[in-house]
Structure 1
Amino acid sequence: MLKVDGLQAAYGDSRVLFGIDLEVGRGEVVTLLGRNGMGKTTTVRAIFGLLRPRAGRVSVDGRDLTGAEPHLIARAGLGLVPEGRQVFAPLTVEENLIATARTRGKAGWTLERIYGLFPRLRERRRNMGDQLSGGEQQMLAIGRALMTNPALMVLDEATEGLAPLIRDEIWACLRHLKDEGEAILIIDKNVDALARIADRHVVIEKGKVVWSGSTPELLRSPDVKTRFLHV
């Protein structure tokens, strides 16, 4: 579904990505792993057109979308839960959810389905975005991405800074989405939790892919954690 080939990107004269390759198929959960500052968020920004790649190719269902405007990326079926959540503070929870909603027939995501997934959002639906806790904002960011009815959802730092109970709720949500066949690309530091839901993993170091493989292969390779994931 999503295919990234040889992606290179830079901020000014500072090159950050040196040829990233990754792929996410329909219904597949893939992680993008690496220590801080290794290029994970830059990869997401380049995929979504928030940073124009210097080289390489980003395609969705075979359609070349390299460097396309973010709204065209979203229209192609990619939904983003950005690092830092970035909810719309002046809008209520419900207004946040409907602000970028796209319909996809009866099987698509609706307000009622989002409230069923996150009952707390129903309780806070009249609250403004900046009146929510960090965990509630993350639920809202996930709900807002789902309301675009994406074919692939990308989460940048899925549980960063959240309390343990809220993290568990987010992981349960992602497990539910996987069971429903949602394709997901996840960035997070909790490798053990990721291994319980992900099919494959891509590890990057200094803007390059240094390891990729299935969950069983990752679990059989403790040296990968030691060399590339531990701070």
Structure 2
Amino acid sequence: MLAVEGLLAGYGGSRVLHGIGFTVGAGEVVTLLGRNGMGKTTTVRAVMGLLRPDAGRIAIDGADVTGLPPHRIAQRGIGLVPEGRQVFPTLTVEENLLATAANRGPGAPRWTLPGVLALFPRLAERRRNLGARLSGGEQQMVAIARALMTNPRLLVLDEATEGLAPLIRAEIWSVLAALRAEGQAILLIDKNIAALQRLADRHVVIEKGQVVWTGSSAALAASPGVRDTWLHV
């Protein structure tokens, strides 16, 4: 589904990514792991068309999309849950969700307003509340539900549960597990290694803008050196 090859990117004269490469297959859950500042968010920004790479290739279903604008990437079936949530503060929960509604696949859309509100009952209770009046956890639920309303083939989450209360984190992990069980492909950044190991098929570890390790959850659990050297957990 998604293939990233030899990605070079940065900001101004500062190079951040030095040849990043990885894939996400249909129905796979893949994580990008690494310490802060190692290039995870920059990778996501490049994939989503928010940052134009200096070199390399980004392909969706084999078609080169390198350098396309964000709306064109979204139209290919990629939905983003951005770092910092970025909900519309002056729109209600319902308006936030309807603002991105689209059908990226054949037939009736999988995700509609009733569907995402059933997935997040807390949002159903607050559907008339303005985005600015929501807690951080509720805003993150809106951000995930909003991305699902685009009916993406690949869901990308940058810092899925950072800064959230434990009960909210648990609810979001439960939702992501349910999505995985339905065959939703997911590319995920988060710091909760234990939760990621339970959820993901593969992990890609990034250090200073390069992939230094990749493997399954079982391989990561059996490799304390990976965690100690590159993840500090």
Between 142-151 and 104-113, report the one with greater CA deviation. Answer: 104-113
Aligned length: 231
What is the RMSD of the two structures over their aligned residues, measured on CA atoms?
0.8
Classify the secondary structure of the residue corresponding to 1:189: coil
Give how far 1:106 is off.
3.0
**1:37 correspondence with 2:37:** yes
**Which residue of structure 2 aligns with residue 10 of structure 1?**
10
Write out per-residue CA displacement over residues 10-32 of structure 1, whole angstroms, 9 at most, x where no aligned residue: 10000000000010000000000
Write the mapping of 1:58-137 to structure 2, written as runs, cut at 5 A: 58-103=58-103, 104=105, 105-137=107-139
Work out the percentage of aligned pairs sharing the same amino acid: 69
Paired with 2:108 and 2:2, the residues of 1 have a C-alpha distance of 25
Paired with 2:194 and 2:224, the residues of 1 have a C-alpha distance of 12
Classify the secondary structure of the residue corresponding to 1:71: helix
Paired with 1:173 and 1:153, the residues of 2 have a C-alpha distance of 13
Write out per-residue CA displacement over residues 54-83 of structure 1, whole angstroms, 9 at most, x where no aligned residue: 000000001100010000000000000000
Instruction: Decide which of 131, 144, 164 is 1:142's aligned counterpart.
Output: 144
Q: Confirm or deny: 8 A CA contact 2:109 2:151 kept in the other structure.
A: no
Write out per-residue CA displacement over residues 169-191 of structure 1, whole angstroms, 9 at most, x where no aligned residue: 00000000000000000000000
Paired with 1:200 and 1:144, the residues of 2 have a C-alpha distance of 25
Paired with 1:167 and 1:10, the residues of 2 have a C-alpha distance of 31
Please give the TM-score of this superposition, normalised by the length of structure 1.
0.98
**Which residue of structure 2 aligns with residue 201 of structure 1?**
203
Paired with 1:38 and 1:112, the residues of 2 have a C-alpha distance of 39
Q: Which runs of 5+ in 2 are unaligned?
A: none
Q: Which runs of 5+ in 1 are unaligned?
A: none
**Which residue of structure 1 aligns with residue 51 of structure 2?**
51
Classify the secondary structure of the residue corresponding to 2:5: strand
Write out per-residue CA displacement over residues 123-172 of structure 1, whole angstroms, 9 at most, x where no aligned residue: 11111111100000000000000000000000000000000010000000
Paired with 1:130 and 1:82, the residues of 2 have a C-alpha distance of 17
Give how far 1:90 is off.
1.2
